[in-house]
Chains A and B, each alone.
Chain A
Amino acid sequence: MSEYTDAVRFEGVSRSKKGCLYDVGFSVPKGTVMLLVGENGAGKTTLLNVLAGQYGADQGTVYLFDRPQSDDDPAERARMSVVFDTIPYGQSLNARQVGKVFAGLYPQWDDEAYNRYLDIFGIGEKQVIKTYSRGMMQKLQIACALSHNAELLVLDEPTANLDPGSREIILQCLMEYMKDGERSILVSTNMPGELDRYADGATMIHKGRVVFSGEIDTILNSYGIVKCGPDEVSGIDRPDIVGIRHSRYSAEVMVKDRERVAAKCPGMAIDPATLDDILVFTGAYGEEAAR
């Protein structure tokens, strides 16, 4: 493993075509798990596709292992593995044949590890991909991604189609993969509650822009939900408000800096927020706060 600070760093990445991105900038430090959260259509998959070399960016630079990403550097690509949102392998192949394709592509392919993951995930070697369930397709992609000794794992909603048992097995495998502290994971999800206990950091994207990026504990310590009467909402500074959920006799207000709000409005009860709460308030109730 070579020396570098950030496994991935996005600097001012913008894209105006399908799946817009605006000045996206954040990094995934070496040895960490970074969640990329956001509602559907926020730009998560687009950003991961830029990182995976599928899409181009109009502006900005993507750094891989502290070096600008280049299409002509196969060695750099070999250090990264990608799990796409849909399975990109030929549907008429089976797991064994897919393994052979990967063995030809990746110099550090580990056939033993691949077989082990197939066993763990319960995937038959001879079963043809088109007969797989969606969850099995996802598992096969993860087995491939984990089997070539990559330093950076990029996963696009890996647990979206999995049952709780399979999800737990995969998360355990990912934790095992992270054991030596030299590897990093960037994983997108719109259900951060499933993954946040395994992650070190989180980056939220909303409408193609980064809302926040940092350590999960810091973020969760900062955000909070104020529970107050409908007429008390006006007492909170607008820039602090992320979203407002109204009910008949009360309101819940998501705030970015709960300490500051607490200091300004001493009588109000402020509960800690989860990443799921932040996603809900930003996606579903953010428009009203912006008005």
Chain B
Amino acid sequence: MKKMYRALRYHDRLVVSRIIYFFLTFGYGAIFLWSFFKNYDGYRNLGMPESIENFEGTGTVLDYVYIGFRQQHNQWLAEMADRYLNSMYRFCAFFLAGVPVLLFTFVSWSSVLFTDRQQGWNRVLKAAPVTPKDRAKSLFIAKWRTIGICTAISMAIGFLCSRLTIGADFAERVFFGSIITVLIVVTVTTVWDILGAVLGALFPSARLNLTIGIICCLTMMTLAIPFFLFWESAAWMQYTSNYIFGPGWLILIAVFAGTQVLAWLVLKRACACKE
């Protein structure tokens, strides 16, 4: 643990593996959404019409888009609207539900950069009238403030967009789905932070550190596939609104809280150590 602080300095050398991590997170977001939509048949019940004559609408903005297209005198546009209506709904649903995931992936990445920026400020803080514990507290709070604000914004955008376009039922699912996504991504990011710190302490060689980091990252992500598939096969999305405090949620929240506590302990020790 004495070398832990050095680990934080080596942290920035792990940027390349972070980039890989970024794409993997992004990929998992896509897998997550794909598995969600594969089983989600809600869009089929949204009043998809055979043609404009029997179109009932979904009561959302997309109805106006569709009607707008159909009422064009341009025959080609009208045909396209008929032919691709289903795809259009599906695409919008996919895209809008993806907003929280995409934004959060970005937040996850920017929080990494934020941590790297903290490395510099850490020098100022170490020389300033601040105890190591207060320093750790400020770093922890600052990181969570960033994550919290961005998460709230991304979830709100995701919810509002899906509410306006697809409908209330879908928006609710997106909302709970994005909470789960946030919990999972923050947990994985935190585990990665802790791993990075421990690896940096154990293996000061940057190249070795990087290699091990990438291997760990890939392993962790590979292990996550069955995790996602399990959740998907259990059709967890179908139950989220009814069973908010079900065992799955509790396990997820417990793992999330556990990693945060561990991260706090590591950070506290790291701030007390000198290079």
B53 interface residue (CB < 8 Å to A): no
A84 with B131, Cβ < 8 A, contacts A55-B274, A55-B275, A56-B274 known? no
Residue of A at shortest CB range from B117?
Answer: A90
- Tell me the A residues contacting B by CB distance below 8 Å: 17-18, 49, 52-56, 71-72, 74-78, 80-82, 84, 87-92, 101, 105-107
B interface: dominant SS: helix
| In contact, B130 and A105 (Cβ under 8 angstroms) | yes
With A52-B123, A54-B126, A105-B125 known, 15 other A-B pairs at CB within 8 A are A18-B275, A49-B275, A54-B275, A55-B275, A72-B132, A74-B131, A82-B127, A88-B123, A88-B124, A90-B120, A90-B121, A92-B117, A101-B121, A106-B129, A107-B129
| In contact, B274 and A80 (Cβ under 8 angstroms) | no
| In contact, B129 and A54 (Cβ under 8 angstroms) | no
| In contact, A71 and B132 (Cβ under 8 angstroms) | yes
- Tell me the B residues contacting A by CB distance below 8 Å: 117, 120-132, 272-275
Which residues of chain B have C-beta atoms less than 8 A from A49's C-beta? Answer: 275
Residue of A at shortest CB range from B125?
Answer: A105
A245 to chain B, nearest CB (A): 38
Which residues of chain A have C-beta atoms less than 8 A from B129's C-beta? Answer: 74-78, 105-107
A146 to chain B, nearest CB (A): 15
| In contact, A56 and B124 (Cβ under 8 angstroms) | no
| In contact, A89 and B275 (Cβ under 8 angstroms) | no
28 A–B pairs (Cβ distance < 8 Å), ordered by A: A17-B275, A52-B123, A53-B274, A54-B126, A54-B274, A55-B274, A56-B274, A71-B131, A71-B272, A72-B131, A72-B132, A74-B129, A75-B129, A77-B127, A77-B128, A77-B130, A78-B129, A80-B127, A88-B122, A88-B123, A88-B124, A90-B117, A92-B117, A105-B124, A105-B125, A105-B128, A105-B130, A107-B129
